[in-house]
């Protein structure tokens, strides 16, 4: 072995607090030095992050939910930097300062720090507890005040937006596509997702077969699409532009290509688009099932009550036993 | 059954039979049993449910036949290896055969109740798991080299993803408990055996059976759900899903048995003087892990059986339109799944805590806090599972509570850093290979832990949930944490287990390449995650290709770094053995105070424990036990090893030799 222990290794320096400590301060000046290095690096890191990276952190500021997620991420990062830097600086310092080749005798640690120290331990536990409780209070406030922060809140949200006008949009997920119904415009269904600017949107997410997840990335909205469940997520748009919708829960073969795009347009453009589409799709809408917050799938997945019997060859066909599937 | 039932009464008068070698059961008979069992089960399934089509019509295969085939194959595997000889003999009233243990290497291919043999069998089994699933990981990274051109079809790709995830999770749940827990715990607590050697051995053979079962998922067409197996996709999936459900149930049974045996061993088989406050921190971590294995895993087994019933017997546990609930699987799965995460973290803490004092030459700082922290983590881990379901719409009003519990669990988890930072203070640090791996673990786990706090914050979770950010996070904790600690442990304890020394220089090259390329593989995935790439997709936005390619190249190089380890292992352990010193790290641990290689009976005499194994830098302290065979001479170690007291031996009936 490269560094066999010296005879003094096991013996140490004799009694605790012996000659090794007599000619230096209590901590050997290590603590002030460590705190100085830590504070400097943490401060620089935090400032650089907050001003250079912070404004560009996804998902951006296209909606209230996105802005909230970005703000939360940045705050957590600001707290994380000093924590990570503390551990790294300490470990780097310790590994350099107390590596075996620089410690001729045994370890110079004083007796009362050898096996633990109530003060140090209480300080560590206290500090982490304060950080954690602070994060909890912060996270809860950030969840409740913006009405669920863009996450799926189930069928009966307890945190609802204060805004008087809310545009409901139903998101219907099925293998492997998203489509959208606008109940306030006659319930037409389309695979185009248009949203008005400066408006609070209530996404009602549901599925016709397996579990999917509606992730409107730039909107900061994410909600699972469960069969026979209405999962509501709120956000308020604040910028024009297009956004990506991806399925974020593994839903089978073509999960990887289950995505489309949406647009936030001005209120007047939205009204025009919605009225035009409602008229253009009127014939189709008549064939759709009556608008409902959930639809019952059947044994064939996305079939069930959604497609009316007269247009769907699979309706009422169950595949129990050896029964053959017959096509009309 | 009590422990004393298994101790032979009149040892000398007992006739020990030995079958001729060609009649002994081994891997070959087990394989015959498994294949025969599968064919038989498949035949029975077709007899009782011929012409049956899957309830939800997708697989086109007879799931009853497949499930029966897999179940009876596992039974045949256990029968073939001889795991059932004892209980079957008892049932039909025969005196169970007493088997002489063999000294030949062939004992590693047989059912053995020696915890050291089981440990080594476990070691090779986890390597088999690790390297199989590692190859699948490189297949995934190959596919993701390009956002749009494809190596695999989408079906093959999700089959590979699911297989990789499931195998790795199965492997990681036993990675430390299996090989090192079984091998080292009796040595560390001064025992000659574990409490239930046959149960211990059966857990190993269930673990290997689980490997074979989950491997059959590929020829059966794979399963489309990933390792989380969400229903209703699970219910409508093809026959590969049966292998997933059966495989997890089988592995789960093995985990329960392994944990149960180790709990009983640690509580009841400690040597005199091995008080709770002298218990090595590694044993504490195994105890906490075993508690999780025993308490959390039954949920997984039950959930898997519900899934099998849904797919075969037309029950509707997870079928919403028939009155079941797809939320039920999510709840049951994560109620197991989150303790599972700590099953994969705590042993790593134990390994690091065990190695730090040895390589810093001073006692562990905050021993009690560390032990208490592990149990704090274990307890809290049962109260955090719904943080996987923040966006699911289940109990949305519970999100603040689960945010709180999730953030609280970082307090006891952080104790490992308190212990580390305290132990490094004014120490004498030696950078041996195991210490490098321990430090690497601490580096990686910090990133994994801090990003976990990001995930626990619900507003941030809206963006990062289900993205590559999560994927990077748990690879940092499991691969960067547990697997790094595991390799540190391999370098640390190989001299004890094999009596041979792994090459130090190759070990350092292995560490640095693994550390570098691990970070190169997984750090970019945080970035692609937050930039919007969902998990388990085969197509992604073109602007993410650079980071994906960095990750893929890192993954191939990471795979190559494992080859350095394999070369080192094969060369210095098998081809050109290098004899290790008896106690190469000058550890005070009890496991180093017995002969190397460890004799069949572990300790010539049950030691009396005088101190904990961390009394470095305490010159006036007692030695760890009244036997000190290795390391520097200790003044109080004058007690000579006396003759073996038969009453002390406590060997199982399978151990007739001296």
Distance CA B582, CA B591 (A): 11
Distance CA B44, CA A181 (A): 49
Quick check: is B201 in a domain?
yes
pLDDT score, position A266 = 96
In this structure, what DSSP letter does residue B206 have? Answer: H
**What value of ipTM does the predicted structure carry?**
0.87
Tell me whether residues B532 and A58 touch, CB distance under 8 A. yes
How many Å lie between the alpha carbon of A46 and the closest alpha carbon of chain B?
16
Q: Specify whether A129 is located in the same domain as A237.
A: no
Residue A209 has pLDDT above 80, yes or no: yes
Residue from A201, A255, A133, A107 nearest B404 by CA: A133
Instruction: State the burial class of residue A278 (Cβ atoms within 10 Å of its Cβ: 0-12, 13-18, 19+).
Output: middle
pLDDT in tens, B11-28: 444 555 666 777 788 899
**Partner residue opposite A135 with nearest CB, options B54, B236, B453:** B453
Tell me whether residues A224 and B397 touch, CB distance under 8 A. no
Tell me whether residues A83 and B450 touch, CB distance under 8 A. yes
Q: What residue has token string 């391999």? A: B490
| Chain B hits for A154, Cβ within 8 Å | 393-396
Pure H helices in B110-153:
115-143
| Chain A hits for B446, Cβ within 8 Å | 84, 87-88
Quick check: is A12 in a domain?
no
Q: What residue has token string 């470990």? A: A91
Quick check: is B257 in a domain?
yes
* A 253-312 residues with CB < 8 A to B: 253-257, 296-301, 304
pLDDT in tens, A152-193: 998 988 888 887 789 999 999 998 899 999 999 999 999 999
How many Å lie between the alpha carbon of B554 and the closest alpha carbon of chain A?
23
Choice between B531 and B8, residue whose per-residue pLDDT is larger: B531
Distance CA B253, CA B260 (A): 11
Give the end of a domain, one of B313, B332, B351.
Answer: B332
* B 251-310 residues with CB < 8 A to A: none
B453 touches chain A (CB under 8 A): yes
Quick check: is B59 in a domain?
no
SS3 assignment, position A244: strand
The pTM of this model reads: 0.90
- Could you tell me the end-to-end alpha-carbon distance of chain A, in angstroms, rounded to an integer? 81
**Partner residue opposite B450 with nearest CB, options A80, A155, A221:** A80
Above pLDDT 90, what percent of chain A? 61
Residue from B495, B360, B355, B370 nearest B434 by CA: B355
**Number of domains comprising chain B:** 2
Residue A321 has pLDDT above 70, yes or no: no
* B 462-481 residues with CB < 8 A to A: 462-463, 465-467
B48 touches chain A (CB under 8 A): no
Q: Are A9 and B361 in contact (CB under 8 A)?
A: yes
How is residue B497 written in tokens?
A: 């287990």
Distance CA B284, CA B340 (A): 17
Choice between A103 and B564, residue whose per-residue pLDDT is larger: B564
**Partner residue opposite A91 with nearest CB, options B154, B424, B532:** B424
Q: Specify whether A83 is located in the same domain as A198.
A: no
How many Å lie between the alpha carbon of A79 and the closest alpha carbon of chain B?
10
* Domain range for A195: 166-300
**Number of domains comprising chain A:** 2
Q: Specify whether A170 is located in the same domain as A142.
A: no
| Chain B hits for A110, Cβ within 8 Å | 426
pLDDT score, position B435 = 96
CATH number of residue B178's parent domain: 1.20.210.10
Mean pLDDT across B575-588: 90
Tell me whether residues B538 and A99 touch, CB distance under 8 A. no
Tell me whether residues B536 and A256 touch, CB distance under 8 A. yes
SS3 assignment, position B213: helix
Q: Specify whether A141 is located in the same domain as A215.
A: no
Task: To the nearest 10°, report the CA torsion of B597, B600, B605, B610.
Answer: 50
pLDDT in tens, B311-350: 888 888 998 877 889 899 999 999 999 999 999 999 999 9
Task: To the nearest 10°, report the CA torsion of B462, B468, B471, B477.
Answer: -90
| Chain A hits for B397, Cβ within 8 Å | 158
| Chain A hits for B155, Cβ within 8 Å | 253
* B 72-131 residues with CB < 8 A to A: none
Q: Specify whether A193 is located in the same domain as A74.
A: no
Quick check: is B360 in a domain?
no
Q: Specify whether A92 is located in the same domain as A173.
A: no
pLDDT in tens, B237-264: 888 999 999 999 999 999 999 999 999 9
Quick check: is A319 in a domain?
no
Tell me whether residues A94 and B429 touch, CB distance under 8 A. yes
Choice between A47 and A7, residue whose per-residue pLDDT is larger: A47
| Chain A hits for B360, Cβ within 8 Å | 98, 107
* Domain range for B599: 588-658
Quick check: is A220 in a domain?
yes
Residue A112 has pLDDT above 50, yes or no: yes
**Partner residue opposite B233 with nearest CB, options A129, A252, A296:** A252
**Partner residue opposite B326 with nearest CB, options A135, A157, A227:** A227
Residue B512 has pLDDT above 80, yes or no: yes
Q: Are B391 and A213 in contact (CB under 8 A)?
A: yes
pLDDT in tens, A257-314: 899 999 999 999 999 999 999 999 998 888 888 899 998 876 556 666 676 555 555 5
CATH number of residue A256's parent domain: 2.60.40.420
State the count of interchain CB pairs (< 8 A) between A and B: 331
H helices then E strands: how many in chain A? 8, 10
A122 touches chain B (CB under 8 A): no
**What's the angle, vertex CA B573, arms to CA B572 and CA B578, rounded to 5?**
60
Residue B569 has pLDDT above 90, yes or no: yes
How many Å lie between the alpha carbon of A270 and the closest alpha carbon of chain B?
26
Tell me whether residues B392 and A226 touch, CB distance under 8 A. yes
Residue A13 has pLDDT above 60, yes or no: no
How is residue B657 written in tokens?
A: 């030799």
Residue B559 has pLDDT above 90, yes or no: yes
pLDDT score, position B169 = 94
| Chain B hits for A217, Cβ within 8 Å | 463, 532
Residue from B304, B328, B339, B323 nearest B223 by CA: B304
Quick check: is A75 in a domain?
yes
Residue A8 has pLDDT above 50, yes or no: no
Q: Are A226 and A214 in contact (CB under 8 A)?
A: no
Residue B265 has pLDDT above 70, yes or no: yes
Residue A26 has pLDDT above 70, yes or no: no
How is residue B311 written in tokens?
A: 């797919």
Q: Specify whether A186 is located in the same domain as A99.
A: no
Q: Specify whether A140 is located in the same domain as A190.
A: no
Q: Specify whether A44 is located in the same domain as A137.
A: yes
Q: Which residue spans within A45-187 are E strands per DSSP?
A: 166-174, 177-182
Residue A17 has pLDDT above 60, yes or no: no
B531 touches chain A (CB under 8 A): yes
Quick check: is B428 in a domain?
no
How many Å lie between the alpha carbon of A230 and the closest alpha carbon of chain B?
8
Quick check: is B512 in a domain?
no
**Partner residue opposite A250 with nearest CB, options B226, B408, B581:** B226
B333 touches chain A (CB under 8 A): no
**Partner residue opposite A154 with nearest CB, options B54, B394, B430:** B394
Q: Which of B59, B277, B391, B442 to mutate to test the interface with A (most CBs of A within 10 A)?
A: B391
Q: Which of B221, B359, B419, B426 to mutate to test the interface with A (most CBs of A within 10 A)?
A: B426
Residue B101: pLDDT band with limits 50, 70, 90: low
- DSSP for B523-576 reads HHHHHHHHTT-BTT-S---GGGHHHHHHHHHHHHHHHHHHHHHHHHHIIIIIIS
pLDDT in tens, B418-433: 999 999 999 999 999 9
Distance CA B608, CA B625 (A): 5
Which helix (H) or strand (E) segment is A206 a member of? strand A200-207
Quick check: is A230 in a domain?
yes
A195 touches chain B (CB under 8 A): no
Distance CA B408, CA A132 (A): 6
Residue A10: pLDDT band with limits 50, 70, 90: very low
Quick check: is A307 in a domain?
no
| Chain B hits for A220, Cβ within 8 Å | 462-463
**Partner residue opposite A211 with nearest CB, options B233, B397, B414:** B233
A251 touches chain B (CB under 8 A): yes
Quick check: is B601 in a domain?
yes
Tell me whether residues A65 and B439 touch, CB distance under 8 A. no
How is residue B128 written in tokens?
A: 């088999």
pLDDT in tens, B168-216: 999 999 999 999 999 999 999 999 999 999 999 999 999 999 999 999 9
| Chain A hits for B368, Cβ within 8 Å | 116
In this structure, of A5-14, B34-43, B138-147, B544-553, the range with the lowest mean pLDDT score is A5-14
A28 touches chain B (CB under 8 A): yes
Mean pLDDT across B88-105: 78
Quick check: is A108 in a domain?
no
**Partner residue opposite A116 with nearest CB, options B368, B446, B581:** B368
Mean pLDDT across B371-397: 92
How many Å lie between the alpha carbon of B99 and the closest alpha carbon of chain A?
42
Q: Are B56 and B320 in contact (CB under 8 A)?
A: no
How is residue B338 written in tokens?
A: 């989150």
- Sign of the Cα torsion B245, B246, B251, B257 reads positive
Q: What residue has token string 């919605």? A: A274
């Amino acid at each position: 072995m490269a560094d066999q222990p010296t005879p003094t290794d096991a013996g140490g320096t004799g009694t605790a607090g012996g000659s090794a400590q007599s000619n230096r301060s209590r901590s050997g000046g290590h603590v002030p030095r460590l705190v100085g290095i830590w504070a400097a690096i943490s401060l620089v890191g935090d400032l650089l992050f907050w001003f250079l990276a912070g404004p560009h952190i996804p998902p951006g500021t296209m909606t209230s939910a996105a802005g909230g997620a970005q703000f939360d991420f940045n705050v957590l990062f600001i707290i994380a930097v000093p924590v990570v830097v503390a551990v790294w600086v300490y470990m780097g310092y310790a590994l350099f300062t107390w590596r075996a080749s620089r410690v001729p005798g045994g370890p110079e640690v004083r007796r009362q720090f050898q096996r633990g120290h109530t003060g140090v331990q209480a300080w560590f536990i206290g500090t982490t507890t304060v950080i954690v409780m602070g994060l909890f209070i912060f996270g809860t406030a950030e969840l409740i005040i913006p009405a669920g922060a863009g996450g799926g809140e189930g069928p009966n949200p307890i945190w609802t937006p204060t805004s008087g006008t809310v545009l409901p949009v139903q998101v219907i997920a099925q293998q492997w596509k998203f489509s959208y119904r606008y109940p306030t415009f006659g319930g037409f269904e389309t695979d185009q997702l248009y949203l008005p600017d400066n408006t609070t949107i209530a996404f009602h997410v549901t599925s016709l077969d397996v579990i999917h997840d509606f992730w409107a990335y730039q909107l900061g909205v994410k909600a699972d699409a469960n069969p026979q469940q209405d999962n509501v997520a709120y956000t308020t748009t604040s910028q024009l532009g297009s956004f990506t919708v991806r399925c974020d829960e593994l839903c089978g073969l073509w999960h990887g290509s289950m995505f489309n795009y949406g647009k936030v347009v001005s209120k007047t453009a939205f009204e025009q688009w919605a009225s035009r589409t409602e008229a253009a799709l009127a014939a189709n809408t008549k064939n759709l099932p009556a608008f409902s917050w959930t639809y019952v799938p059947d044994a064939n997945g996305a079939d069930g009550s959604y497609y009316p019997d007269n247009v769907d060859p699979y309706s009422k066909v169950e595949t129990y036993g050896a029964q053959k599937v017959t096509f009309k | 059954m009590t422990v004393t039932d298994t101790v032979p009464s009149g040892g000398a008068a007992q006739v020990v039979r030995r079958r001729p070698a060609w009649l002994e059961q081994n891997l070959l008979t087990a394989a015959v049993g498994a294949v025969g069992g599968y064919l038989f089960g498949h035949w029975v399934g077709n007899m009782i449910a011929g012409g049956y089509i899957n309830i939800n019509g997708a697989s086109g295969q007879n799931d009853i036949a497949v499930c029966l085939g897999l179940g009876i194959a596992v039974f045949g595997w256990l029968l073939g290896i001889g795991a059932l000889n004892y209980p079957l003999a008892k049932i039909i009233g025969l005196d169970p055969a007493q088997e002489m243990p063999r000294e030949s290497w062939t004992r590693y291919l047989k059912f053995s109740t020696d915890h050291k043999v089981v440990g080594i069998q476990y070691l090779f089994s986890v390597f088999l798991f690790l390297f199989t699933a590692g190859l699948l990981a490189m297949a995934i990274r190959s596919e993701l080299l390009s956002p749009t051109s494809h190596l695999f079809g989408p079906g093959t790709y999700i089959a590979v993803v699911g297989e990789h995830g499931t195998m790795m999770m199965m492997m990681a749940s036993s990675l430390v408990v299996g090989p090192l827990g079984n091998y080292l715990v009796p040595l560390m607590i001064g025992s000659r055996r574990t409490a239930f050697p046959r149960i211990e051995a059966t857990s190993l053979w269930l673990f290997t059976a689980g490997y074979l079962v989950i491997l059959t998922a590929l020829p059966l067409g794979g399963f489309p759900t990933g390792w989380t197996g969400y229903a209703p996709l699970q219910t409508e999936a093809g026959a590969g899903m049966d292998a997933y459900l059966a495989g997890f149930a089988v592995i789960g049974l093995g985990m329960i048995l392994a944990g149960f045996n180790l709990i009983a061993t640690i509580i009841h088989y400690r040597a005199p003087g091995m008080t709770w406050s002298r218990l090595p921190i590694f044993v504490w971590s195994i105890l906490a892990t075993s508690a999780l294995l025993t308490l959390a895993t039954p949920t997984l087994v039950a959930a898997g059986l519900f899934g099998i019933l849904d797919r075969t017997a037309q029950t509707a546990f997870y079928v919403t339109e028939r009155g079941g609930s797809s939320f039920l699987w999510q709840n049951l799965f994560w109620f197991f799944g989150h303790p599972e995460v700590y099953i994969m973290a705590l042993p790593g803490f134990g390994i690091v805590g065990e190695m730090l004092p040895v390589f810093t030459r001073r006692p562990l700082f905050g021993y009690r806090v560390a032990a208490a922290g592990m149990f704090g983590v274990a307890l809290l881990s049962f109260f955090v599972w719904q943080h996987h379901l923040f966006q699911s719409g289940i109990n949305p009003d519970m999100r603040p509570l689960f945010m709180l519990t999730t953030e609280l669990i970082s307090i006891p988890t952080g104790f490992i850093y308190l212990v580390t930072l305290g132990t490094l203070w004014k120490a004498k640090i030696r950078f041996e290979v195991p210490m490098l791996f321990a430090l690497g673990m601490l580096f990686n786990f910090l990133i994994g832990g801090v990003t976990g706090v990001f995930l626990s914050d619900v507003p941030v979770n809206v963006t990062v949930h289900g993205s590559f950010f999560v994927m990077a996070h748990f690879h940092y904790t499991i691969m960067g944490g547990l697997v790094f600690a595991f390799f540190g442990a391999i370098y640390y304890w190989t001299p004890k287990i094999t009596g041979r020394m792994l090459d130090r220089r190759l070990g350092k090259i292995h560490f640095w390449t693994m550390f570098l390329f691990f970070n190169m593989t997984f750090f970019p995935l945080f970035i692609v995650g937050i930039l919007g790439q969902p998990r388990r997709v085969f197509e992604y936005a073109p602007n993410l290709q650079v980071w994906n390619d960095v990750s893929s190249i890192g993954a191939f190089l990471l795979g190559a770094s494992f080859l350095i380890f394999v070369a080192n292992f094969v060369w210095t352990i098998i081809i050109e053995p290098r004899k290790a010193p008896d106690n190469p790290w000058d550890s005070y641990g009890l496991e180093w105070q017995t002969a190397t290689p460890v004799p069949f009976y572990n300790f010539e005499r049950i030691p009396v424990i005088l101190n904990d194994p961390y009394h470095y830098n305490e010159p006036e302290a007692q030695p760890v036990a009244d036997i000190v065979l290795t390391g520097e001479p200790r003044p109080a170690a004058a007690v000579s090893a006396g003759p073996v007291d038969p009453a002390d031996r406590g060997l199982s009936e399978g151990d007739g030799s001296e």
